Structure 1
Amino acid sequence: MKNKKTLVLGATTKPERYAFKAITMLTEKGHSVLAIGQNAGEVAGIKIYTKQIPLKNIDTITLYLNPVRQREYYNYIIETKPKRVLFNPGTENPEFYQLLQSNGIKVEIACTLVLLATNQY
């Protein structure tokens, strides 16, 4: 399996949240993980940053932010030039899909946890 450097956007230290589960599962599956969230903390040894950090060679950005909260990250994500952006359930945003696609970034509407569990990540 290829290591896919992934940014989890909307990371949290709350174990019941899907973003927390995604960080844990990505780490267990051997992917390099970076995390940005509202509050600082750590999950599975991964530091959660509260500000936009410089990123290089990102394969996937997986979103755990609602469409309104995504707006402040539009330029950041486009400038990061990930290969793909995963829109998890509840993060669907047709306006952003078009922006990403017009910048050559693949859009996937899928659940990160399901993709990892079924080896389709």
Structure 2
Amino acid sequence: MNKKTLVIGASLKTQRYSNIAIKRLLSYNHDVLAFGLREGEVNGVSIDTNLMPYKDVHTVTLYLNPQRQKEYYDYIIGLKPQRIIFNPGTENSEFQNKLKQENIFFEEACTLVMLSTNQY
């Protein structure tokens, strides 16, 4: 099943996990959107530097440390995703409490591992 995924913290640097995740999500035939600090493209996916009013986002996968996430809380909640993945190093109890209040499912997991083990 195709799960439209927004990668927040997307990077043009090929060694970054967010970059690898974009490529891996594409290889599993998921629609991918990306938001990051620098414009560019990863395997045909444009990295937006402005917060876009995306529609029908199933999953938001985070590659931002907890301090950097704060300015995006309302934006992410407003997308009304079905789930949010807190990749290693992004765990954030403050944000997770807000998500609980909004009844948005989240998990602390690794997008890359989830894909490779068919748990995505």
What TM-score results when the alignment is normalised by the length of structure 1? 0.98
Residue of structure 2 equivalent to 1:112: 111
- Provide, for residues 18-39 of structure 1, a one-character-per-residue CA deviation record: whole Å limited to 9, x for no partner: 0000000000100000000010
Residue of structure 2 equivalent to 1:59: 58
Shift in Å at residue 55 of structure 1? 1.2
Structure 2 unmatched runs, 5+: none
Shift in Å at residue 92 of structure 1? 0.4
After TM superposition, list the pairs within 5 Å mapping 1:31-110 onto structure 2. 31-110=30-109
Residue of structure 2 equivalent to 1:15: 14
Paired with 2:109 and 2:68, the residues of 1 have a C-alpha distance of: 19
- Provide, for residues 17-66 of structure 1, a one-character-per-residue CA deviation record: whole Å limited to 9, x for no partner: 00000000000100000000010010011000001001111110000000
Query: Residue type matched to 1:11 in 2?
Result: A
Structure 1 unmatched runs, 5+: none
**RMSD value, Cα:** 0.5
Paired with 2:39 and 2:70, the residues of 1 have a C-alpha distance of: 21
- Provide, for residues 78-105 of structure 1, a one-character-per-residue CA deviation record: whole Å limited to 9, x for no partner: 1100000000000000000010111010
Matched length: 120
Paired with 1:29 and 1:36, the residues of 2 have a C-alpha distance of: 20
What TM-score results when the alignment is normalised by the length of structure 2? 0.99
Paired with 2:75 and 2:58, the residues of 1 have a C-alpha distance of: 15
Query: Residue type matched to 1:110 in 2?
Result: A
Paired with 1:120 and 1:73, the residues of 2 have a C-alpha distance of: 26
Shift in Å at residue 120 of structure 1? 0.7
Paired with 1:29 and 1:44, the residues of 2 have a C-alpha distance of: 13
